[in-house]
Structure 1
Amino acid sequence: MPGNPLNRFDSDWEEKIRVHFADHIPKPIPDRNTIVTGYVVANAPFGIFVDIGYGVPAVLGDVYIGHDQQQKMDPHWTKPLGTKICAKIGDDTGQYPKLHQWDYEEWGPQHLAAEV
């Protein structure tokens, strides 16, 4: 059974990231707007962390709810651990590369069908 069956963020999300990437060797992140696939390794209060195969965690933030709404509702952006994600590379100048949510109809299906 995948982790996070109740669609909640992981209270130990930082530890999950540390453990998952402990043996990974960082590689250069692709250029901005490159389509990448990966899988969920942790659910944080502000988004999900994804292993996109470059040795560092990437974060897909919840861009659809504001801070006030976030306090009033369950974190609907969380995904079960291991869920395959397709996104575009965004800003890579921070602590973690940021991912952009994507338009499923435009370019999602062919990338989600590919192996991660």
Structure 2
Amino acid sequence: MIHQNWGKLVCEHFTNKNLELPNIGDFVNGEVVACAPFGIWLDIHCGVPALLEIIQLDIQNFKPEDYPEWMPKIGEKFDAVVVVVKNKEI
């Protein structure tokens, strides 16, 4: 489900910033804190929100023609690989 107030949800969730950023290529597990039309905001326990962009999702499991029905719910868990940290790409 896409949340109209996704920005507020993200800001409210990240009030304590540890800033222990992962490295590019790290495998992370995150919990969905908000969904936007362009992606899913995850808490990967580093103190800042992680954005899992829709274009990065596996189209075998998340088919474009089924959008937005497959959008996750807040609290669902996702595994991901870090591809960008502070605008540094692989």
Which TM-score tier does this pair reach, normalised by the shorter chain?
Answer: 0.7 to 0.9
Aligned counterparts of 1:77 and 1:33: Cα–Cα separation in 2: 26
* Corresponding residue of 2:5: 12
Q: Which has the larger radius of gyration?
A: 1
- The alignment status of 1:28 with 2:20, answered yes or no, reads yes
Which segments of 5 or more consecutive residues in structure 2 lack a partner in the other structure?
none
Kindly tell me the number of residue pairs found equivalent between the two proteins.
83
Aligned counterparts of 2:45 and 2:73: Cα–Cα separation in 1: 18
| Aligned with 2:75 (options 62, 67, 82) | 82
* Corresponding residue of 1:62: 54
Higher helix share: 1
Against the structure 1 CA distance between its residues 61 and 77, is the aligned structure 2 distance closer, same or farther, given a 3 Å change threshold? farther
Higher strand share: 2
Which segments of 5 or more consecutive residues in structure 1 lack a partner in the other structure?
1-7, 99-116
Q: TM-score, normalised by structure 1?
A: 0.62
Q: Identity over the aligned pairs, expressed in percent?
A: 33
The alpha-carbon deviation at position 12 of structure 1 amounts to 0.2
* Deviation digits for residues 30-50 of structure 1 (CA, Å, limit 9, x no counterpart): 211100111000001101000
